Amino acid sequence: VPGLLAAGEAGCASVHGANRLGANSLLDLVVFGRQAADTTAELVKPNSPPVSIPKNAGEMTIGRLDKIRNSKGPLPTAQLRQELQVTMQRLAPVYRNSDDLKKGVEVMPGIMKKYKDVGISDRSMIWNTDLIETLELENLLNQASQQMMAAEARKESRGAHAHENFPDRNDEVWMKHTLSFLDKPYVDEATVKLDYRPVIDQPLDKEMHHVPPAKRVY
């Protein structure tokens, strides 16, 4: 996304050790915060013209909030959230297997579609936890569906993805990042799409030598 800079673990793609296992929050922020500042200084020059924003900017977001705030569906937020939680814990737990993940891929689209039937009772705009939880549920469905589809597709074990049918890492096929997204803005209308991009495994300068991948052992 042009102009969107990430600092911390969100910016660790393809950077060996830049996560909670190999580093810590302060180190993430110092390293990536400095890089974000340097990049900003390169891109934004003094006296640059202001960025133009469309007149209708934000209308879609406000419309989504208002739609959910006035939703009158028969399905309580907590009920759908529990169904999602049980499904993820049962079919995509810490230690996964092919049969469960295949079931998850079949079940998840139906759970996503149920979001359109969610209804809330609180229409207020002040401390509306019912509204907040329903908005959060949409994000949970978004994240969980992509996690399920991406996990089922990756036929190996790597990092936090522990696959009982494929216990070893397969660098020849799966040394690549998963790029997952929804093909439509709203989760109840969307389908998960998967794409991939290669890992940047070589240093960008000569300050540090190449560190080859190694098997994680304890």
The pLDDT value given to residue 212: 86
> Does residue 30 register a pLDDT over 90?
no
Using CB atoms within 10 A of its CB, is residue 182 exposed (0-12), middle (13-18) or buried (19+)? middle
Which among 140, 150, 147, 142 has a CA at the least distance from the CA of 195? 150
Helices (H), 92-167: 98-113, 129-153
CA pair distance 130, 118, nearest whole angstrom:
11
Dihedral angle sign, alpha carbons of residues 146, 182, 75, 124: positive
The residue ranking higher by pLDDT, 93 or 209, is: 93
% helix, strand, coil for the chain, step of 5: 45, 10, 45
Is the per-residue pLDDT at 190 higher than 80?
Answer: yes
Which percentage of the chain shows pLDDT scores above 70? 92
**Neighbour count for residue 31 (Cβ, 10 Å):** 17
pLDDT digit string (tens) for 117-150? Answer: 999 999 999 999 999 999 999 999 999 999 999 9
Per-residue pLDDT reduced to its tens digit, 3-13: 788 776 666 66
- Note the pLDDT tens digit of each residue in 53-110: 899 999 999 999 999 999 999 999 999 999 999 999 999 999 999 999 999 999 999 9
Q: What is the pTM of this model?
A: 0.84
Q: What are the φ and ψ backbone dihedral angles of 18, each rounded to 5 degrees? A: -90, 65
Residue 26 scores a pLDDT above 70: yes
Which pLDDT score is estimated for 13? 61
